[in-house]
Structures are given as structure tokens and as C-alpha cells.
Chain A
Amino acid sequence: MAGRHVTKQAKYKTRTKDPGTPGQKHTKEPPRLNLTNNQNENFIFEFENFSDLQDCRDFIGKLHPDEQPSAADLELRIKLLLEDSELQKLHKQFALSGVLTEAEFWATRKKLLNREANKKRKQRPGFKSAMLEFDRTNKKTFNLTPETILQIFSEKPAIHRAFLTYVPKKMSEEDFWTKYFKAEYILSTRNSHVAAAEAAEDEELAVLLKQDDDIVASEARQKMRRIDPTLNLEADEWDDYTHLPRDGIKEIMPTTDSPYRRSIAKEINRHSAAVLEGRVVDVLELKDTKAKAIAEALARSKQESSTKGEANGYTSLSRMIEIEDLQGPNNLPPPLLGINDARDYFDSNASGAEQMKCSLSMQEAYGSLRDSISMIKAKGLNLIKDPIVNPQVANQVFDDLTHSITTTTKHHNIGKNPLLDSWSRGVFSSSFQSHIQDSEGQQATKIIYAITSNSFAMFPKNIITKKMDKMDVVV
């Protein structure tokens, strides 16, 4: 699409369709491009073929990246329209008639598009959970499909490695497989002597006969490296109770066929690991179903996963190290908390103590206390007047208390807070002003308040901000 001009032949139309032919199939329609300008006028171009349309659309799409969807999107839309006659009808009704623009129409159906797109990412087929069984009898027919080959390779890394080293250079693929099945057969007889003899004769066969212990071990090591480094694996090492007799039956230790038994267990484990891991390489995706290609693809994917795993391990390690407590100090200046001009709110007590100082000497003071005690003793509790409390006084006290309770309950949420009142008088500490200037001001007020009075917690925020505004004016 080089250049700024694209020239294609097209017919210009004002309407989408000839009104006379409403029932026409979508497929038969000529390729059209519907352009809408800012004034909401439609320009419809009918092209001769789809590739012309595509070119034009791409060109326009470049001019208006927002408006024009990509070709893939469009394909998807067309597909959807074709599949769903109802949608098609709607599309015709709204989009083509200009009620909605194309983009608007599809914006509401994003889900549909997404779903369609998601379908593409289909589930990866796994392995069959049945184990490979090559019918280890005298029968000599083997059925090798790419599927089984893949399974063999992924379950038996030794074979995989041997295949990669030998096949193109040393022997043909067919020879390799013959050897492999021979080895399988020998293994199935469980005759170690025969195996030894055969291995002595044929070097390649010996390789195939060998168990893939070392590779498995190295893989295991690799996996261990991927484990979260903070996990203490050694601590769990002794959590193995398999040596203990279970259910009262001691495990019968295998005598002669123990290596085979163990190998069976290993095979099963390996198989299950492979099944769980899933299919790394999609055989169907590989156009070349040759075993060689499969083997190489598998090797590649393994390489990738191992490097990725390693990287993961390191990132998790570094993440672990980053613990908040160990970070350097946050260098925010500590906001000062303070209430100035507290005199009208708090009674300062330091001066009071001074005032009270000793109008009497100590002896006199104690003496007066003792006097009053003996006076009570002599006269009883009804000291001077008969009721200890004058009923009028009592009533007044009760009324006062009731009144104060009424007012506190009524104004609890409205906010008759002396501090706030003092604020509006515009007396602030200088340190406070400086706080208002920086952005932390609001936070600082909150902190002061939260500490000063519990009723503050109920203050609506707008009151604070209002006060803040006032303060700004004062400043």
C-alpha cells in the first residue's frame, strides 16, 4: 500500500441495495465499501471484486485508524453475519440504513466478536492417558503414527536424545525404529543376560537399552532449580514414611526382578508426568509429520521451557528479597501534629497548679480535713441542712444534664465542635499554615482531628474541605 493514492474502479451508489430485490443472498452481493463522513452522509462504492475492496479498505483504515477495523476483524464480522441470519437482519436494519455506524453496531457486540476470537485459541489436545504398550510379544507389527512418536519422545528422553544424535548421520529413520522396538522387545523379556549379550554386539542397541536415568535426573535437577528458593526442601526430605510398615503388612522386598519392577514404576511416573505436562508440540500443526521434525520441535520446546523456567526462578527469587521492611526509609518529611491556641478549648493546668499553692501550711491543711471528718461523725450525713441535696438544686442539676444530653445527641452529627469553631475564627498555628501550602495539608488536619475527638470520625468530608477553603482565604 505504498504511496498516498490508490486507484480502483468502483461504482458510486447512494443506497445499499436495490429495493426491488430484498431477498438476495449476502454472498451474491457485490463487494461494497460504505463510507460515512462527518455530516453522516453515506458514500457507497461498489467494487468489482473483493481484493479491490480490501485494498481500498486498508488504505482508508490507514487514514482513519480508529474507524476502520483491521482486515481480520472484518473477516470475523462477515463470518458472524453469514452464520447468524438474525444478526444479518439487524445489521441491515441498523448499520446499513445508517441508524448506527458500523463501529457502533459492532461495539455493542464486542462479546460476540471476542467469543469468536477466543474460539481460535482452542484447547491443546493432551496425550491419551493410556500408556504405550507395544504388545511385547513375538508379534512384529508396530504401528507408528506421528502421535505415538511424539509420545515416545516425550516419555522417553533417552530415545529422544538417541534419535537426535543418530538418525540423519548414522542410520536411517527406519533402522532406528527397528532397533528401538527390538530393544523394547528385549526389555520386555526381562532377561538381563540376553540384554547384556545383545548390547555387547550392537552399540546403538546398547544405548537404547540403557535406562534414561541420567536424563531424568538432570531434568529433576532443573525442576528443583525452578522451585521457590525460600522453600526448605531438605526439611521435607525426611517426611518419607514409605519405609514404615503400613496396615501392619511389611513391604515385601523384591528379590530378582527388582530392577524391572522399579523401571515399571518409573515408566508409569514418567508417563503421568508427560500426560500432565500435555502436548508441547502440536503434531497437527507440524506440516512435516516426519519423526525427525517432531523430535526437533520437541527439543526446541524443551529448550524454551527450561530457559523460561530458569528466568522465572530468578524473578521469583528477586521478588522474595524485596521485602518492605528491608527497604530504605521513605523520605517524606514527617508532618507535625499540633493544636495551637488551645487555651479556649483546654484548660491549661500548669498555671492552675501554681495558683493553688498553699494558702495553708501542711499541718493546717491536714487538720482541716480531720476536722471535717469529725464534724460528719458528730452530726451525721445531713450536715447542715436536712436533705443533703436541696431539691431545687437537684432538679436543676437533673435538668441541666438532660439538656446537655439532648443537645449532644441532637448535634452529634452536625458538629458543634469547639475546635471547628475556633478554626473559623481564623487562628492557626504557623506550622499548620505551612502544611496547608504543601499538598499534605489536608492529611495533616485529618490526623489532628482523628486524635483530638472521636466524634470527628463522623464529620462529612465536605465540612473539612470547606474549612480548608476558608483557611486558604485567611492565609
Chain B
Amino acid sequence: MASAPSKLYADDVSHVVVLLDTNPFFWSSSSLSFSHFLSHVLAFLNAILTLNQLNQVVVIATGYNSCNYIFDSTTNLNRNFENGRMPVMSSSLLHKLEEFLIKDEQLSKEEPEGRINSSLLSGSLSMALCYIQRVFRSGSLHPHPRILCLQGSPDGPEQYVAIMNAIFSAQRSMVPIDSCYIGTQNSAFLQQASYITGGVHHKPQNLDGLFQYLMTIFATDLHSRSFLHLPKPVGVDFRASCFCHKNTIDMGYICSVCLSIFCKQHKKCSTCGSVFGQSQSEAASASDKKRKTPET
């Protein structure tokens, strides 16, 4: 018996928090121009809002030095009429984005140069999660939110701990993190984020068709995902960054108490302060010597 459509249709309400990468260093070197990227993303956001009256979109800009909310469809109520060049949401978003970029630039002047040109993904992820927590606490009736990372900058290993914490808290609150990586290399962080939280990770091959990727893969609401195949990466890069030097490592040492990761052997865990036992370290180093000789 066909159940009442009310039941069928009510599930496909989406609440998407989109994290936009606005790292100037990335965009200056990217093959895809920022304006193209923006136009595709704006059309995509508009499409999501069109799909269902109750759909909500929040956009957070992930800058080089800071991050901030640049659009929230729940507050921008009066939509739909504008000069006719673009949807009203787009223009307000662009306006906010411009302001944000100016602020971000000012911040970077204060800071000395010399770090890797990664954007502040950990910050924007945390902001997204905070926003989602607010939604969760607003009442029992709310669509299930998801996060979409549109990222191009390389991973910042120094953010490893913060990002992993954000990922795990997203996992706990059952928020899937979708990620679309538009940079040249793939991002281990985003792969892990999507893998752990059950989201979709995709690296578009043809950046001219970014909009099509967004529409086919990332516009799919959570309800429909239960009966659709979405592209899955063949493998996930599970490498971690060490806590001591923030290097991405394949092999390392793990504190058995707090699971901190180190690239070198320490006498004492710098995170939780537990002293590593002498006998074990001896055994480890002894066996290490045996095993590591060919490598070094």
C-alpha cells in the first residue's frame, strides 16, 4: 500500500553547512578561477534552496587566518526579488564574502609569514559544528544537518589534532561531512573526515564541470542516500600527523595512555605526561634496531 506521501516526502529536507575555501594562495595558483568556482557554488546553493522550501543553507568562509559565517538562509528571509542578475542570496553572500576577505587580509598583515599555505579548516569545521549544535538544541523538529567542505588548499598538519577532534565530534552527533577537494593533491584530512562520519568524499577530475559534480553528488539529501550509490574513493589515506613536530607520518609511536602520536621515541608523553616504561622502551628499541636497519 502506498503510504501517505506526507511520510515519504518529509524526509528529504536538507540543512547544509557549506565551508568555502577562500585561501588566496590556493586560488592564485589554482587552475580553476575563483570567480568560476563562486558562480558554480552559488548556483548550487540556489538549487538546494529551490529543492525544498524548508531547506536551509549556511555558508562559512574558510580563510587563511580566520573564518566566519557569510550566509545563513534562515535569517535572509526576503528572497526572490532582486535586480534580475542573480538571486538575492548570492548578492548578499558576495557582499559578506568581500567584507570577510578584507578582514582576513588585515589579520595576515599582523602575522609573520612562513607557514604552509593551508586554510583554517579546523576553525571552520568547529564553527559548523557549533552552529549544528545550536540547531540541535533549538527543538526537536529540525532537519538533519550535514557539512560540505569545498576545499582546495593542502592539509595543514599543525591542525591535525583540532581537525580530528572536530571529525570525531561530528561523528558523535551523527553529522556527515561531505568533502569535495578541488586542489591538485588529495587531502588526507578530508578523506578521513568523510570516511569516519559516513559522508562522501570526491575529487572532481574535470573542474569545468564542478557544478555538475555538485549537483549529482553533493545535492543528494541524506534520505535519498539510503537508496543511492554515490562515488566512493577506492582507498582512504589514514596517515596521521605527529603531535611533536606536526609532520605527516606513516609510522610512529603512540602513547598507550592517551593515544598521542609521535614521530620519535620520547621518555615521557608530552600530552598526558605519562612516563613510558623503561623495559618496554628497551625492548622496543632493541626490536627497532633489528627491524629498522634496512630502512636507515
Q: Which residues of A contact B (CB under 8 A)?
A: 329, 331, 333-334, 336-340, 342, 345-350, 352-353, 356-360, 362-366, 368-370, 372-377, 379-383, 388-390, 393-394, 396-398, 400-401, 404-405, 408-409, 416-419, 429-431, 434, 451-455
User: Are the CB atoms of A333 and B283 closer together than 8 Å?
Assistant: yes
CB neighbours (8 Å) of A416 from chain B are 234
Closest to A334 in B: B284
Whether A393 touches B239, Cβ cut-off 8 Å, given contacts A382-B39, A431-B292, is: no
Interface class of chain B by DSSP: helix
* B residues with CB within 8 A of A: 22, 24-29, 33-36, 38-40, 42-43, 85-86, 90-91, 94, 97-98, 101-102, 104-105, 108-109, 113, 116-118, 154-155, 183-188, 195, 204-206, 208-213, 216-217, 229-232, 234-239, 247-248, 250-251, 279-280, 283-284, 287, 290-295
The list of the 9 closest CB pairs from A to B, nearest first, reads A365-B24, A430-B294, A372-B35, A397-B209, A347-B185, A380-B85, A397-B212, A394-B212, A372-B34
CB-defined A-B contacts under 8 Å, sample of 7? A349-B155, A350-B248, A356-B26, A357-B25, A365-B24, A408-B229, A453-B234
The answer to whether A357 and B105 touch across the interface, beta carbons within 8 angstroms, is no
CA of A451 to CA of B236, assembled, Å: 9
Q: Which of these, A337, A363, A381, contacts B43 with CB under 8 Å? A: A381
Determine whether the beta carbon of A430 is less than 8 Å from that of B295.
yes
CA distance A416 to B232 in the complex (A): 13
Whether B39 and A381, one on each chain, are in contact in the complex, defined by CB atoms closer than 8 angstroms, is yes
Q: Which residues of B contact A393 (CB under 8 A)?
A: 206, 208-209, 212
A419 CA to B210 CA in the complex, in Å?
29
Cα distance, A364 to B101, chains bound together (Å): 13
Could you say which of B36, B235, B279, B284 has the most chain A C-beta atoms within 10 Å of its C-beta? B235
Q: Which residues of B contact A374 (CB under 8 A)?
A: 98
CB neighbours of B40 from chain A (8 A): 388-389
> How far in angstroms is the closest Cβ of chain A from B7?
28
Given contacts A389-B40, A408-B234, contact A369 B22 (CB under 8 A): yes
Alpha-carbon distance between A397 and B210 when the two chains are bound, in angstroms? 9
Bound-state CA distance A307–B117 (Å) is 78
Per a CB cutoff under 8 Å, which of A342, A350, A352, A380 touches B184?
A: A352
B24/A369 in contact, CB under 8 A: yes
Q: Are A349 and B154 in contact (CB under 8 A)?
A: yes
Instruction: Known contacts A366-B101, A397-B209, A401-B217; decide if A346 and B36 are in contact (CB<8 Å).
Output: no
Q: How far is A348 from B26 in the complex, measured between Cα atoms in Å?
A: 17
Contact B250 A339 (CB under 8 A): yes
B294 touches A345 (CB 8 A): no
CB distance from B293 to the nearest CB of A (A): 8
Bound CA span A393–B208, Å = 7
Chain A residue at smallest Cβ distance from B232: A408
Most buried by A among B28, B90, B188, B248: B28
Extra pairs beyond A358-B25, A372-B38, A389-B212 (16, CB < 8 Å): A346-B239, A350-B247, A352-B183, A353-B116, A356-B25, A357-B117, A369-B101, A372-B34, A388-B40, A388-B211, A396-B206, A398-B212, A401-B217, A430-B293, A430-B294, A434-B290
How far does the Cβ of A176 sit from chain B's closest Cβ, in whole Å? 70
Q: B280 near A329 (CB under 8 angstroms)?
A: yes
Given that A388-B40, A394-B209, A453-B235 are known contacts, is A369 also in contact with B27, CB under 8 Å in the complex? yes
Question: Whole-angstrom distance between the alpha carbons of A458 and B185 in the complex?
Answer: 28
Residues in A neighbouring B187, C-beta threshold 8 A: 349
Task: Report the separation of the CA atoms of residues A346 and B247 in the bound assembly, to the nearest whole angstrom.
Answer: 16
Residues B213 and A388 in contact, CB atoms below 8 Å apart: no
Question: Contact: A429 with B295, CB < 8 Å?
Answer: yes
List residues of chain B with CB within 8 A of the CB of A363. 105
CA gap between A417 and B280 in the complex, in Å: 36
Q: Closest A-chain residue to B42, C-beta based?
A: A381
CB distance from A167 to the nearest CB of B (A): 67
The listed residue (B36, B118, B232, B287) touching A383 by CB distance below 8 A is B36
Complex Cα spacing A352 to B155, Å = 10
* Docked pose: A451 CA to B237 CA in angstroms: 10
The distance in angstroms between the C-alpha atoms of A183 and B110, with both chains bound, is 107
- Is the beta-carbon distance between B29 and A408 smaller than 8 angstroms? no
What residues on B are CB-neighbors of A329 within 8 Å?
Answer: 279-280
Residues of A within 8 A of B292 (CB): 431
Chain B residues with CB under 8 A of A451: 238
Cα-based distance from A336 to B94 in the complex (angstroms): 51
Asked if A418 and B86 make an inter-chain contact with CB atoms under 8 angstroms apart, the answer reads no
Contact B108 A389 (CB under 8 A): no
Which of A331, A376, A404, A452 is the one whose CB lies under 8 Å from B39?
A376
Cα A426 to Cα B155 with chains together (Å): 31
Residue of A383, A394, A419 touching B235 (CB-CB under 8 A): A419
Q: Report the minimal beta-carbon distance from B183 to chain A, rounded to whole angstroms.
A: 8
Q: A368 and B251: CB pair below 8 A?
A: no
User: A373–B35 contact, CB under 8 A?
Assistant: yes
Partner of A370, one of B101, B116, B237, B248: B101
A390 vs B211: C-alpha distance when bound (angstroms): 10
Contacting A373 at CB < 8 Å: which of B97, B184, B236, B238? B97
CB-nearest residue of chain A to B97: A373
Name B33's closest neighbour in chain A (CB-CB): A372
Closest beta carbon of chain B to A397's beta carbon, Å? 4
Given known A396-B206, A397-B216, A434-B291, contact A368–B85 (CB-CB < 8 A): no
Most buried by B among A342, A360, A365, A404: A365
B38: chain A residues within 8 A (beta carbon): 372-373, 376
- Determine the distance from Cα of A431 to Cα of B209 in the docked complex, in whole angstroms: 44
* A345 contacts across to B, CB distance below 8 A: 235
Q: Which B-chain residue is minimally distant from A387 (CB atoms)?
A: B211
Partner of A377, one of B94, B102, B279, B283: B94
A431 shortest CB reach to chain B, Å: 5
A389 and B35 form a contact (CB under 8 A): no
Specify which chain B residues have a CB less than 8 angstroms from the CB of A347 in the assembled complex: 184-186
Given the interface contacts A396-B206, A397-B206, does A337 sit within 8 Å of B234 by beta carbon? no
The chain A residue with its CB closest to the CB of B185 is A347
Separation in Å of the A420 CB from the closest CB of chain B? Answer: 10
- Pairwise interchain contact A397-B235, C-beta atoms closer than 8 A: no
